[in-house]
Amino acid sequence: MPDQKPWYLEQSPVLGSAYLHFRNTVQEKSVLDQKTRELLMLALACVLRCHYCVENHIQGALNAGATKQEITETLLLTAYEGAGTQLAWCKDIYQKYLSEASSG
């Protein structure tokens, strides 16, 4: 099967081409090794809750030499950072209504 053009190029050729160039550039080699890149993208895919992306990046990480333990720690670190971010996100509002000093 020949490579098909991405669906978005037909309706938005200028922006679609720019995105495609960006995607292709990101997939080229960089200062980060492929395993690190896959683990970072896995963490982001988890945060964004993309089922397809999570599976794709777990497979990519395994193919790049990541161990199951490294992948598991990536997922746990992602969960930790997500929880901490949630608690700090609206800290001023949380404290305003939920602290001992609040009159709620």
- The mean per-residue pLDDT over the stretch 77-81 comes to 95
Percent of the chain with pLDDT over 90: 83
Looking from the CA of 96 toward its CB, the CA atoms found within 13 Å total: 4
Between CA 79 and CA 47 the distance in angstroms is 8
Task: Please state the pTM of the whole predicted model.
Answer: 0.79
pLDDT recorded at residue 29: 81
- The mean per-residue pLDDT over the stretch 29-38 comes to 94
